[in-house]
Structure 1
Amino acid sequence: MVKKLSNTNYLHDISADPVVTNERNRKYIDRFVSENYNGLVAKFSPLDGTINSSAFGALDKLNSTIISLYIDPNLHFTDWEQAKQYLSNKFTEKAIRVPVKKPVKSEVVENEDEIIND
């Protein structure tokens, strides 16, 4: 007889629901992560011993933030420079962060229409 393993920290089973990746941004996020992940890990590692109110360590939060970028349906980059600027800012310490407007779908569509009509 095989005994089902359980985690007593959970009161119920948690299903893994698949989420849709925003394919439009995937190449930009892939490039940013592949070029910068080791540097981000080095920056976040000293803070990893601190657990926030959601029970996340610094590296958990880093990886969670990266995943959220992949699945955000409202985030739409038009080019690498825009993606690099937004993503670099996203992983900058809040105290020194320069506000960068999130590129959203409606703005990109309007800009694409302007380019076509010009």
Structure 2
Amino acid sequence: MLDEIYQAMMADDFIVENAGGRIKYYEYPEAADLQEPHIVIDPLAPPSPEDFADNNWLKDDHLYQIEVWTKKRTLTDMLAKKIQSIMWKLGLAQVGGLPEYDKDYGIFRDARRYTGKKYRKDFDTL
């Protein structure tokens, strides 16, 4: 799922134009060095089994946090909304989030959490 999220972001022209090359898994930028927008994809838990039938789980429940860091509030908002739309198309809905401003470094951060169930990749072989 992590690669699917990354690939969906890389397929969006607006995201690539503004944060291409700075979309990372788990890696947070150094606030003091931040000049360009960054996006961080962070799984908050491993996929958990959901929706059972015939002694098998059918779906994995995913929980991700995706953060947008920029020096411009409006760009942070636009990128976060693009990501929200991408995540919806991938079947993950926003379940919370927190926008904040770090006045020491002049950085706007938008951290949104997304959850959703996806059929197992090996579902056809059960």
Q: TM-score, normalised by structure 1?
A: 0.28
Task: Identify which of structures 1 and 2 has the higher relative contact order when contacts are C-alpha pairs closer than 8 Å and 6+ apart.
Answer: 1
- Report which of the two structures shows the higher radius of gyration computed on alpha carbons: 1
Q: Which protein is richer in helix relative to its size?
A: 1
Q: Which protein is richer in strand relative to its size?
A: 2
Q: TM-score, normalised by structure 2?
A: 0.27
